[in-house]
Structure 1
Amino acid sequence: MRFKPLLIPMAVAGFAGLAAQTALAGPSGYPVVEPTPPVWGAGTFAVRVGAAYVDPDEDGVGGVFTTLVDDPATEDVVEEIPLDVGAFVDIDDDTSWFINATYVFMDHWAVELYHANDVSLEGRLFSDAFFDGDFIGEFSSGLGDFDSYFTSLFVDWYFLDPTCLWQPYVGLGVNYTDIEEQFIRPVFRNDNRWGAGKIGFGSDFSWTAQVGVDVVLGRESNWVINASAMYVDASPEFSIGFDTETDLPDFDDPVVTSIRIRNQELDLDPWIFNLGIGYKFSF
């Protein structure tokens, strides 16, 4: 068999193979490794929805209101004795829903718009009374739910590489808190007597901060799980007004005390814990 005619095509094939290896190799001759594509890089936009648990601060708002009453044991000389009635309003927690949108405008940095909607915070009134320094009774009454809305604008910093599927972040921003103003339901008085009053909440602009994490569900997936914890420094103005009646020893008629709390700051300062799912895409 004559092999000489086969040498030329074999040589051409060999050089072609060497050329192909050179094309797939880096300057050192090793194969080129394609970079891992980012999953949370510049241009990423994500929308999330989920549950928000709002837990206001335990501090409420209130005051002590003093009425000077005449001692019925004295006939000719007016002897005034102080009746001190304390009133304190506390706001309870609630779970509602949230929606937010995040845009990564450059690697590691994003802006986020967040809104927690229709958070029904339950109000409760506590009252006690002291006559001439002696405790004479107390009561408490629910004031109903007050629909609250929390809207925040954050600048977030993602501190891991944009290729990581786990993307923890911290954020700092501004918040707008709004609570719907409502009339009080009937307010409990002594001896099961009832009366009505009015309650009012103002809105508040304040600062807020958060920590959170976005978990991308695979390199080819657009779905995201999100969890975050926010602190909101919210202190809206608060007003309440109603009259309460107190039965005193040796008095024929109950003593009426006017409870008026006007334009005091209600330190809500809530923690908001969020858990949701989102969808992301890139521009």
Structure 2
Amino acid sequence: MHKSLLSAAALALAVVAPLAHAHTEGDIILRAGAITVNPKADSSSVKVDQGPLAGANLGGKATMSSDTQLGLNFAYMITDHVGIELLAATPFEHDVKLKGTALSAANGKLGSLKHLPPTLSVVYYPLDSKSVFQPYVGAGINYTWIYDEHVGSSASAAGFDNFKAKNSWGMAFQIGADYMLTDNILINAQARYIDIDTRATVENNAVAPGTRAKVNVDVDPFVYMVGVGYKF
């Protein structure tokens, strides 16, 4: 009798309390959290490309600071194992510094810039769709829109102005994992490598009229995000 009652109770709980199913075809997943862009910033030397000093190699290199913003993921599951995902974020802002150049006035903080890094990826989830733990890998394409470049106060006082940086197209790769807390709510962690290459230029008419220097920068950041999500 007791065994029958226990079996009946277990069956009732199984019916009433549904499993926290993970991702299945047609699901829409929204994730939000803190996202950090950590540039590697491997650059060429700084060279003068315009003006009477054109061709001069000033040496040195450029570096960029990290920044953390609000990250957003929008994903749509094409099948139980394959999805399309868009990465978005509030604008990142980075300080740009020059070091080791032959022109001492150029060393230090040159200025800052902002960028938006929308990235569209195809992601693959290898585990069964009923698993509450869902690791995944992905690859896609990134477009980095760079804007609001401006020189810092010290660089401006040294005669630098008209700081510009080119936008970038590149590949992006990611790994990540979702853990389903309920049928709709999840926690997420992810890491990405994004190929971002830009060319920055800055003018300095105080050195010589028409002088412009350039530097090629492989930003190539590692991008980390931790957050929560909701599955529709």
- TM-score category by the smaller chain? 0.7 to 0.9
Q: 1:119 to 1:169 in 2, by over 3 A?
A: same
Q: How does 1:34-73 map to 2 (within 5 A)?
A: 38-64=21-47
Alignment partner, residue 149 of structure 1? 116
CA deviation profile, 1:169-209 (whole Å, cap 9, x unmatched): 000111110111423234549xxx63232211111111111
Question: Is this contact kept in 2: 1:114–1:152, CA < 8 A?
Answer: yes
**Whole-Å separation in 1 of the counterparts to 2:85 and 2:210:** 46
CA deviation profile, 1:214-271 (whole Å, cap 9, x unmatched): 11103xx3111111001111112322222566xxxxxxxxxx6975234x54211111
Given residue 91 of structure 1, which amino acid in structure 2 is its aligned partner? M
Alignment partner, residue 235 of structure 1? 197
Given residue 122 of structure 2, which amino acid in structure 1 is its aligned partner? V
Structure 1: stretches of 5+ with no match in the other structure: 1-32, 69-82, 131-136, 246-255
**Whole-Å separation in 2 of the counterparts to 1:279 and 1:216:** 9
- Say which of 176, 191, 201 aligns to 1:212: 176
Work out the percentage of aligned pairs sharing the same amino acid: 27
- Say which of 239, 243, 261 aligns to 2:213: 261
**Whole-Å separation in 2 of the counterparts to 1:129 and 1:102:** 48
More contact order relative to length (CA 8 Å, sep ≥ 6): 2
Q: 1:84 to 1:107 in 2, by over 3 A?
A: closer
Structure 1 length as normaliser, TM-score?
Answer: 0.66
Q: 1:107 to 1:187 in 2, by over 3 A?
A: same
Given residue 102 of structure 1, which amino acid in structure 2 is its aligned partner? A
RMSD of aligned residue pairs (Cα, Å): 3.2
Q: 1:96 to 1:259 in 2, by over 3 A?
A: farther
Given residue 43 of structure 1, which amino acid in structure 2 is its aligned partner? G
**Whole-Å separation in 1 of the counterparts to 2:228 and 2:83:** 18
Offset of residue 45 of structure 1: 1.1
Equivalent residue pairs, number: 214
For the pair 1:118 / 2:101, whether they are aligned, the reply is no
Offset of residue 115 of structure 1: 0.8
Alignment partner, residue 146 of structure 2? 179
**Whole-Å separation in 2 of the counterparts to 1:36 and 1:64:** 62
CA deviation profile, 1:29-62 (whole Å, cap 9, x unmatched): xxxx999674211121111111111011141343
**Whole-Å separation in 2 of the counterparts to 1:138 and 1:200:** 19
Q: 1:64 to 1:112 in 2, by over 3 A?
A: closer
**Whole-Å separation in 1 of the counterparts to 2:106 and 2:19:** 65
Question: Is this contact kept in 1: 2:60–2:102, CA < 8 A?
Answer: no
Q: 1:44 to 1:165 in 2, by over 3 A?
A: same
Q: 1:107 to 1:87 in 2, by over 3 A?
A: same
Offset of residue 100 of structure 1: 1.2
Structure 2 length as normaliser, TM-score?
Answer: 0.79
CA deviation profile, 1:69-127 (whole Å, cap 9, x unmatched): xxxxxxxxxxxxxx974453221111111111111111111111111221111111225
Structure 2: stretches of 5+ with no match in the other structure: 1-13
Question: Is this contact kept in 2: 1:187–1:197, CA < 8 A?
Answer: no
Given residue 31 of structure 2, which amino acid in structure 1 is its aligned partner? R
Alignment partner, residue 140 of structure 1? 107
Alignment partner, residue 273 of structure 1? 224
Offset of residue 63 of structure 1: 2.3
